[in-house]
Amino acid sequence: MFAVAYIIFFSKAMDVKVNKKTKSQSEEELHSLSKEELIDRIKQLEAHNTQLKSIVQKNLQNREETGNGKRAKKHRPFDFSKCFKRHILLRFYYLGWDYQGFAAQEDSIETIEHHIFAALKKVCLIESRETSNYNRCGRTDKGVSAFHQVISLDVRSKFPLEDQLHEASLVTELDYCSILNRVLPDEIRCLAWMPMVNAAYSARFDCRSRTYRYFFPRGDLNIGAMEEAAQYLLGAHDFRNLCKMDVGNGVVSFVRSIDEISIRASQVDSSGNASYDMMYLQLRGKAFLWHQVRCIMAILLLVGQGKEAPGVVKELLDVEKNPCKPQYSMASDVPLNLYQCEFNEKSTETNGVERLQSNGESELSTWIYKEDDLRRTISDLQALWTKESVKTTMMREMLATLHGVLVDQFGTDRPITEQAVTLTQGVRSREYCPLLQRQRCESLENRIEHYSKKRRIEVSVKSNDTKAAGGSDEPAS
């Protein structure tokens, strides 16, 4: 219902004429309809919803093409049949705070992936996403950033396949990063590229570990207690109580392994006030569940605030004792960063594509940077840093002045150290209810049964396997 309302609103905002619906029927009138009449009614609504989605997509495309209200000039189509192709990895950073996540969406162009593909097509490095042999290292959600996002794809090359790994070819190849950065938004930058031996090498399936960092101010948090709680997370566990269960997309196994977890200092406050020190939680693993890091951070913040004992993490990991997740709010998306990705020496994918060598050596080479590109990228990031740091410095000065007023006017030097409190989303109640005493969410078994009845997933009793219609267990934050 919300989606339909949003589409109608968006269509009006885009000056699109939408036929008005007939007067909505009351609940009593709907109850009086026969089964056949209700089926017809649902079909009408679905057809209307499809029509509205089509209108929104068309207007989003028009908005992108027209830019500042002027129709873009039409150029002669680029002839990709005359070009060579090579398979590469591309490394990006992006500040995702103002974007709707990494993955492309039907009803929005404000995603990182949309802008990357718009840039790739604009500079004619690829013909289309469908023909580019594309894979992404992972999906980051709305508001989440990345310093080391990697994609694999086939791009245009100046050289035939047999010459692509020659040193001279690598030096004089198209400057992929510079070409892309000229047309990407300021918050998205291509840092480096890597030539690949194997055209089946996948940024998604051949990534062996992903490292996330979650930044937060020290405030009055008990860092020692948070570190003690974090150690319970090491190793393989069922994280169903520390993530958002995406059963509707076929994810029914929530066992994941965290190979490294630590809390470290990132930046010390220049005035010596430790409550303004910036810290970060670092986690490394092969794959993460939907909202897993943010749920983990939410619990650690409760421990740091003294509201929960470190052992609560151990209790939440015991899914036999606690099969249903307690209701709690996640930590904010803004401080989360996909910080590092590491890849297999050789691809696990074998789809029969041609390789440039088969001598058993590593299929990874080194990332190719160019000094001018890197200097320009650092300068661009410094400009963004300057803008935000000036704001931060102004607020820090205001806080210091207000603290002085508090001391002068009321004779109290009791510090206010609530910097980290606002990272936990949701409404704060006056009286805190311990996690294990809260209302519980549905169990995993109930969710599986619910979606299998709706035919969103198929459960095989013999193989204990679950499949989803269009589902994905892709590494995500």
The predicted structure's pLDDT at residue 31: 75
> Where are the extended beta strands (E) located within 272-335?
278-285
- Could you tell me the pLDDT band of residue 75, with boundaries at 50, 70 and 90? low
| Helix orientation angle between 2-13 and 35-66, rounded to the nearest 10 degrees | 40
Q: Whole-angstrom Cα distance, residue 298 to residue 330? A: 5
Q: How confident is the model at residue 47 (pLDDT cuts 50, 70, 90)?
A: confident
CA 424/CA 134 separation, integer angstroms: 36
Is the fold of 82-207 the same as that of 209-337?
yes
Label residue 134 by pLDDT band (50, 70, 90): very high
Residue 70, classed as helix, strand or coil, is coil
Please compute the mean of the pLDDT values over residues 52-78 and round it to a whole number: 63
pLDDT of residue 8: 41
Element (H, E) at 135: strand 135-136
Amino acid symbol at 363: E
Concatenated DSSP letters of 91-122: EEEE--TTSS-SS-BTTBS-SHHHHHHHHHHH
| C-alpha 240, offset from chain centre | 19
Phi, psi of 396 (to 5 degrees): -65, -40
Q: Distance (Å, rounded) from C-alpha 344 to C-alpha 356? A: 18
What pLDDT score does 33 carry?
A: 80
Residue 70 or residue 321, greater confidence: 321
Bridge partners, 279 (sequence order):
216, 265
Average confidence (pLDDT) over 239-250: 90
Query: Does the predicted TM-score (pTM) go above 0.85?
Result: no
Structure-model confidence comparison of residues 142 and 47, the more confident one: 142
Q: CA nearest 286: which of 363, 202, 203, 342?
A: 342
Beta-carbon contacts of residue 307 (< 8 Å; ≥ 6 apart): 432, 434
Q: According to the model, what pLDDT value does residue 359 have?
A: 53
pLDDT at 469 over 50: no
How big is the CA angle at 109 (ends 107 and 112), to the nearest 5 degrees? 125
Question: What is the bridge-based pairing of β-strands 207-217 and 457-460?
Answer: unpaired
CATH architecture of 209-337: 2-Layer Sandwich (3.30)
Instruction: Render the burial of 86-111: b for 16+ CB within 10 Å, e for the rest.
Output: bbbbbbbbbbbeebbbbbbeeeeeeb
Pairing state between β 255-267 and 278-285: antiparallel
141 flagged as catalytic:
yes
Q: How confident is the model at residue 3 (pLDDT cuts 50, 70, 90)?
A: very low
- Catalytic pick from 40, 79, 141, 246? 141
DSSP string covering 209-225: EEEEEEEEE-TT--HHH
pLDDT at site 153: 96
- Quick: pLDDT tens for 9-39: 444 444 434 344 455 667 777 777 888 877 8
Residue, of 294 and 108, whose pLDDT is higher: 294
What are the domain boundaries of the chain? 82-207, 209-337
What is the overall mean pLDDT for the chain? 86
Beta pairing class for 188-195 and 84-94: antiparallel
> What pLDDT is stored for residue 77 in this prediction?
83
- Over residues 140-170, the pLDDT tens digits come to 999 999 999 999 999 999 999 999 999 999 9
CA-based nearest residue to 467, from 458, 475, 476 = 458
pLDDT at 377: 96
Structure tokens at 190: 């291509």
Instruction: Please name which of 340, 205, 223, 204 lies closest in space to residue 282, comparing C-alpha atoms.
Output: 340
- Cβ neighbours of residue 249 under 8 Å, at least 6 residues apart? 468, 470, 471, 472, 473
Of 164, 81, 74, 174, the residue nearest 120 (C-alpha): 174
How far is it, in rounded angstroms, from Cα 324 to Cα 245? 11
The percentage of residues in the chain with a pLDDT greater than 90, rounded to a whole number, is 63
Reading the block at residue 173, the tokens are: 């190849």
| Residues forming a β-bridge with 16 | none
Please state the rounded mean pLDDT for residues 171-183.
96
DSSP secondary structure letters along 347-361: -S---S--BS--SS-
What pLDDT, in 10s, does the model give residues 407-433? 999 988 788 999 999 998 877 788 999
- In tens, the pLDDT along 382-393 reads 999 999 999 999
Bridge partner residues of 355 (DSSP): 198
SS3 category, 462: coil
Please give the single-letter amino acid code of residue 158: K
Per-residue pLDDT, 449: 86
Residue range 332-360: mean pLDDT, rounded: 76
- What is the SS3 assignment for 402? helix
- By mean pLDDT, which of 37-41, 158-162, 356-360, 374-378 is the weakest? 356-360
Q: What CATH class is the domain 82-207?
A: alpha beta
